[in-house]
Amino acid sequence: MKHIVIIGGGIAGIETACALTDAGHWVTVIEKNEKLGGKLNNWSYLFPDFTPTEKITGTLQEKYREKDFSILNKTEVSGILRQNGKFSIKTSGEQHLEADALVVATGYEIFDARRKEEYGYKIYDHVITSADLEQLLLPGGDLTVAAGKNPKRIAFVHCVGSRDEKTGNHYCSKVCCITGVKQAIELKKRLPEAEIYCFYMDLRMYGKHFEELYREAQEKYDIQFIRGRLSEASEKIDKSLLIKSEDTLSGRPLKMNVDLLVLLVGMEAGKGTAATAATCGIGCEESGFLKTTDSFLKSNFSEQEGIFLAGSCTAPMTINDTILHARSAAVEVDNWLKKK
Amino acid sequence: MKREGKIQVWKDYQKEIADDHYFYVRSCIRQNFFPGAEQTFLKILRSELGKDICENPHHTSCSGIAYHADVVPFDTIQTIAARQFALMTEAGYQNFAVSCITSFGIYSEIIETWKEYPSELEKIRNYLKRATGREFEVPQNVAHASDIVYKFREDIANKKKFPLINQQTGQPLKIVEHIGCHYSKMFPAKGVGGAEFPNVLVGMIESWGGEVVDYPERRHCCGFGFRQYLVMSNRGYSVSNSRKKFESMEPYKPDAILCNCPGCPMFMDRWQYVIEEMEGKTYGENGQGIPVLTYEELAGLVLGYDPWDLGLQMHQTNCEPLLDKIGIQYDSSLKYAGKDGKLIGKPAMVGC
């Protein structure tokens, strides 16, 4: 029986582990947190059909509990040595593992919105991120703003930390457009009296049911989409926010007062992925995400033979894409081990 | 507003400011707008802080306003900057202290250009040599004069005669700060506190006992904006920008406005008078304006310097309300007296 070590216990890591266990391999998942599931654990409902996240995480949990693979939680990889065709892995818990193949599934990090200083995240009281909003959208979440009142006017800012020269993130994070549409609808359902505005550069509704949801947001929920990027936000004396932009369709500057500002934060490769890349001796793209051998036919292959890549450590991905990428990683590992 | 968030930004943007031995380059317009400010800076550095600071009368305008008005090409302004650096080199200094925000932005832009394109530096060395026979070293440290006052703000605080406390209420004076656009908006890392939440003036105000008031249009242009003012037909645009700031800060009832740029205090001071004439509107208490000060003038007041020696009589918006709040004694009869005690004439509107 071959032993495969998977670094990262998010949805990509779990899905790869399940598929490889089904293929008859012995699998160990190393996860730095206590709980498997990664950032999905922090989300409330999923686009485009508002599926409760618990439903997906619950199904994943049931699935992996049925499988016989090992999990080392609260553990990180501290060193990897390649010898005699095998990987010798040292962990932060001083464990030594020997593996025939490695799968890196370290996922992504959420863009730190403080870097877009002009929006005042962590400075102004009522500027939050899409990740923060997910927590507030859970049952019992408090959406009130100044003086305990519900926000009357809410703005979303798309592409915060994505497609942005200033932050050095030139890529599209893929999920933020549809997340913004989904969250705007959820807010409108919770706060029917609120006016909701989305400031966007482009709306990239590429996925199944994305475009339909975007249309529904406009027609059914009266959510206003303004093509323009925010130049700055400032806090007023009543804690509401003054935002400035340009409506690039009408070609006019725009100034608006809102009670809540939501920053749709993008994905970044993050320090964890960079550290793993250094430990494994594999390369990163200019974006910081892990380099694949080939974009078309070898998107699960790293530059090092025997080290495979799964999920959003290679590029921003939706949950669907991540699961598919993880399954294809399992197929590639299995095929490679059979040929070995 | 969460102060800890600002503190984190301030920690992220700390710059190196030389400790001593400065070559000082004055502003071409500040000496007309606020003639006591630069002299006060030199006095504080030399007499209060014991620092070595040199200036050379052969120093010229950096030509920044003409550059930003597309009159002076980049090669020319680089050569002019190189000449200033040559004066510094010849005097045996390496730390360049700049009075003007526009000049500070110009020098920063040019030095960054030379780092990015060394061929430009070589070209300018050649131009300067051919034109003047001079040679130069690129400064090791470039600081705006407000950076230097910021660096020594606690030393100034330790010598203060008047804290920024309202003597009538016992509360800290509420001060809004306005940073010149070219201080850090082009190069955030070159400003103390960065571009969005600069700390350079905040640090002074807080060290000297005052309280900073943040207001929605804090980042907005003062109304100078070069072409807004240089072209007469655009001056309505200039005053409307200043007015936007005054309207925005008014609800916070600030006791003063503090600036670190030549143009900003000029326009925020003068346009208050114009708005009063045009609309009958004033933004301070009791029908008065909000006094507008440079950081050197404020430092001078904190250190107990005579307001008329600081040149506060040259402000169009009267500073007396602020002096009264701080508890500074002054002789109104000497407001328009020259150094010899004779009256030099009161300001009057002529031909307007």
Complete DSSP assignment for B24-65? EE--TTHHHHSTTHHHHHHHIIIIIS---EE--TT-----HH
B6 contacts on A by Cβ (under 8 Å): 123
Q: How far is CA B346 from the centre of its chain?
A: 25
Res B349: pLDDT: 65
Q: How many CB atoms lie within 10 A of CB B160?
A: 16
- Closest Cα to residue B188, out of B67, B339, B10? B10
Region A131-146: mean pLDDT is 93
pLDDT in tens, A63-100: 888 988 999 999 999 999 998 889 999 999 899 999 99
Same domain, A294 and A236: no
Sorting pLDDT into bands at 50, 70 and 90, what band is A118? very high
CA angle, A265 as apex, B191 and A282 as ends, to 5°?
90
| Number of other CB atoms surrounding residue A183 within 10 Å | 25
Strands A109-110 and A267-268: antiparallel
Do residues A221 and A165 both lie within one domain?
yes
Per DSSP, what are the bridge partners of residue B293? Answer: B258
Asked whether residue A251 falls in the same domain as residue A121, the answer is yes
How far out from the chain centre does Cα A257 lie? 30
pLDDT tens digits for range A168-187: 999 999 999 999 999 999 99
Mean pLDDT of B17-30: 96
B217 touches chain A (CB under 8 A): yes
Q: Which of B150, B181, B184 is nearest to B41 (CA)?
A: B150
Pick the CATH number of B15-145 from 1.20.120.530, 3.40.50.2300, 3.40.630.30, 1.20.1050.140: 1.20.1050.140
Nearest in space to B40 (alpha carbons), one of B267, B316, B295, B262: B295
The answer on A289 and A204 residing in a single domain is no
Spatial CA neighbour of B101 closest among B66, B135, B62:
B62
Residue A115: CB atoms within 10 Å: 18
**How far apart (Å, rounded) are the C-alpha atoms in residues A264 and A170?**
16
Q: Helix, strand, or coil here: B87?
A: helix
Instruction: Write down how long chain A is.
Output: 340
Q: Give the neighbor-by-neighbor strand order of the sheet with A241-247.
A: A232-235, A241-247, A252-258
Sort strands B22-25 and B95-98 into parallel, antiparallel or unpaired. parallel
pLDDT digits (tens, 9 = 90+) for B326-335: 999 999 999 9
A230 chain-B contacts, CB cut-off 8 A: none
In the structure, what pLDDT confidence band is assigned to residue B347 with cuts at 50, 70 and 90?
confident
Q: What is the mean pLDDT of residues A225-230?
A: 97
pLDDT of residue A302 exceeding 80:
yes
Distance, in Å, from the CA atom of A123 to the CA atom of A101, rounded to the nearest integer, reads 46
Q: Tell me the whole-structure pTM to 2 decimals.
A: 0.93
Strands A86-91 and A77-83: antiparallel
DSSP assignment letter at A117: G
pLDDT tens string A10-19:
999 999 999 9
Average pLDDT for chain A: 95
Alpha-carbon separation of residue A11 from A5, A56, A61, A255, A322 (angstroms): 15, 10, 10, 41, 7
Specify the 3-state DSSP secondary structure of B197: coil
Q: Does A152 score more than 70 pLDDT? A: yes
User: Of B184, B175, B257, nearest to B222 (Cα)?
Assistant: B257
pLDDT the model gives residue A208: 95
Chain A hits for B8, CB-CB cut-off 8 Å, are 114, 122
**How confident is the prediction for chain B on average, in pLDDT?**
95
Is residue B306 less than 8 Å (CB to CB) from chain A? no
Q: Return the pLDDT at A270.
A: 80
Domain ranges of chain B: 15-145, 150-329
**DSSP labels, A145-172:** -GGGPPPSEEEEEEEETSSBTTTTB-S-
How many C-alpha atoms does A302 have within 13 Å on its Cβ side? Answer: 26
3-state SS class at B144: strand
Q: Which CATH number does the domain housing residue A331 bear? A: 3.50.50.60
Do A13 and A127 lie in a common domain?
A: no
List, as ranges, residues 252-291 from B with C-beta within 8 Å of A.
252
Residue A172 token pair? 């599209």
Cβ-contact A48, A182 below 8 angstroms: yes
Do A23 and A155 have their domain in common? no
Interchain pair A123, B251: CB under 8 A: no
Report the C-alpha gap between B40 and B12 in whole angstroms. Answer: 31
Q: Are residues A92 and A142 in the same domain?
A: no
Nearest residue on chain A to B215, alpha-carbon basis: A236
Asked which of A203, A233, A267 is the last residue of a domain, the reply is A267
Query: In this predicted structure, what is the pLDDT of residue B350?
Result: 62
Cis omega (within 30 of 0) for bond into B73: no
Beta bridge partners of A164: A169
A152 with A245, same domain: the answer is yes
Query: Which A residues, 206 through 245, put their C-beta within 8 Å of a C-beta on chain B?
Result: 232, 234-237, 242
Which residues does chain A have within 8 Å of residue B194's beta carbon, measured at their own beta carbons? 117
End-to-end CA, chain A? 13
Q: Domain ends where: A267, A285, A303?
A: A267
Residue A58's domain comprises: 3-108+269-339
* The pLDDT value given to residue B352: 47
Residue A214's alpha-carbon distances to A194, A237, A297, B1, in angstroms, are: 18, 34, 32, 34
Picking from A123, A125, A236, the nearest residue to B216 by CB comes out as A236
CB pairs under 8 A between A and B: 43
Quote ipTM for the complex.
0.91
B301 CB-near residues (< 8 Å, 6+ apart): B162, B293, B307, B310, B323, B326, B328
What confidence tens digit (pLDDT) does each residue in B265-319 have?
999 999 999 999 999 999 999 999 999 999 999 999 999 999 999 999 999 999 9
Mean pLDDT of B203-227: 94
Pair (A60, A134) in one structural domain: no
The set of long-range contacts for A203-211, using a CB threshold of 8 Å and a minimum separation of 24, is A203/A158, A203/A177, A204/A172, A204/A174, A204/A177, A205/A177, A205/A178, A205/A181, A207/A48, A207/A178, A207/A318, A207/A320, A208/A48, A209/A48, A209/A49, A210/A47, A210/A48, A210/A177, A210/A178, A210/A181
Residues of B in contact with A237 (CB under 8 A): 215, 251-252
Using a 10 angstrom Cβ sphere, with 0-12 exposed, 13-18 middle and 19 or more buried, the burial of residue B324 is middle
Do A23 and A83 belong together in one domain?
A: yes
Number of folded domains that form chain A: 2
Distance CA B251, CA A321 (A): 51
Confidence at residue B210, expressed as pLDDT on a 0 to 100 scale: 98
Q: Do B8 and A124 touch (CB under 8 A)?
A: no
From residue A229, alpha-carbon distances to A160, A163, B143 in Å are 10, 11, 33
| pLDDT of B8 | 96
Of A210, A245, A267, the residue that ends a domain is A267
Return d(Cα B145, Cα B152) in angstroms, integer: 11
Residues A85 and A9 grouped into a single domain: yes
| Amino acid sitting at position A317 | M
- Report CB contact under 8 Å: B6, A235: no
pLDDT digits (tens, 9 = 90+) for A287-297: 999 999 988 99
The per-residue DSSP string of B225-290 comes to TTHHHHSGGGHHHHHHHHHHHHHHHGGG--SEEEE-SSHHHHHHHHHHHHHHHHH----SGGG---
Among chain A residues, CA nearest to B187: A166
How far is residue B311's CA from residue A205's CA, in Å, rounded to a whole number?
Answer: 62
Q: Which of A121, A123, A234 to mutate to test the interface with B (most CBs of B within 10 A)?
A: A123
Query: Given this model, what pLDDT does residue B334 score?
Result: 92
Instruction: Provide mean pLDDT across the span A249-277.
Output: 94
Q: What is the mean pLDDT of residues B236-256?
A: 96
Which chain A residues contact residue B221 at CB under 8 A? none
pLDDT above 50: residue A125: yes
pLDDT at B348 over 50: yes
Task: Tell me what the mean pLDDT of segment B101-106 comes to.
Answer: 97
Task: Give the residue on A whose Cα is nearest the Cα of B248.
Answer: A236
Could you tell me which CATH number the domain at B150-329 has?
3.40.50.11810
Residue carrying structure tokens 């016992």: B170
CA–CA separation, B110 and B136 (whole Å)? 14
User: Which among B1, B9, B218 has the least Cβ separation from residue A117?
Assistant: B9
pLDDT at B308: 95
* pLDDT above 70 (res B351): no
Query: Any CB–CB contact under 8 A between B129 and chain A?
Result: no
Q: Are residues A123 and A141 in the same domain?
A: yes
A123 has a chain B CB within 8 A of its CB:
yes
